[in-house]
Structure formats: structure tokens, C-alpha cells
Amino acid sequence: MQLEVENTAGNPINNLRRLGYSFQRQDGNEMSFVRPLASAGYPRFHMYVKINGSNMLINIHLDMKKETYGDNTRHHGEYENEGALKEEVRRLKTLLD
């Protein structure tokens, strides 16, 4: 699910930390953040953030469990605008706008 927050004020890392997200890493101009929903680390909200001027472009999904590897790499995530992900996007829009 994608979300654009226009005219963000302040440091995006600090803004997302205030909302419960932890910075993971930066790859080029894209930053990765997570917000676990359980003490085991999963499920968790996982977002990739790009800064474009004063706008923040967020690509967010819900990781249900850790990815599995083998012959096929599987990522167990929810990307649709429903359930917990829909509520989290609503929360982000309210608090970041």
C-alpha cells in the first residue's frame, strides 16, 4: 500500500520513531522502518520511505511472519488496504498530516 505525506516538517526518522517505528537501514535514497506488533517481532508493519523534497513517499505492508527460504523465496505479507494495515495507514495519515 502506498501513501504520500505532503509538506512534512522535521526529520522523517524522528517523526516515524515518535509513531513507534524503528529505523532498520538505508539503501540509496530509500529507508526501511518496522513496527512490531508482538514481542517476537512478528507480525510487524514494514515500510520503505523515500523523501522527495518536503514530501514523504511511504510504501507499507504487514509482515505476518519471517520470510522463508529454500527453492522458493516466500514473503508472508499483506499489501491490501484492509484490516490492520488499513487502520495503520489511517493512523499514519492522521498523525503525519
Q: Domain residues for 8? A: 2-81
Q: What is the pLDDT of residues 42-87, one digit of tens each?
A: 999 999 999 988 899 999 999 887 765 555 555 556 667 778 899 9
CA distances 93 to 16, 39, 73, Å, are 12, 25, 32
pTM of the model: 0.83
Burial of 62 (0-12, 13-18, 19+ CB in 10 A): buried
Q: Is 12 part of a structural domain of the chain?
A: yes
Give the count of domains, the chain.
1
Angle value at C-alpha 73, between 57 and 1, nearest 5 degrees: 25
Q: Is 97 part of a structural domain of the chain?
A: no
CA distance linking residue 13 with residue 56, whole number of Å: 11
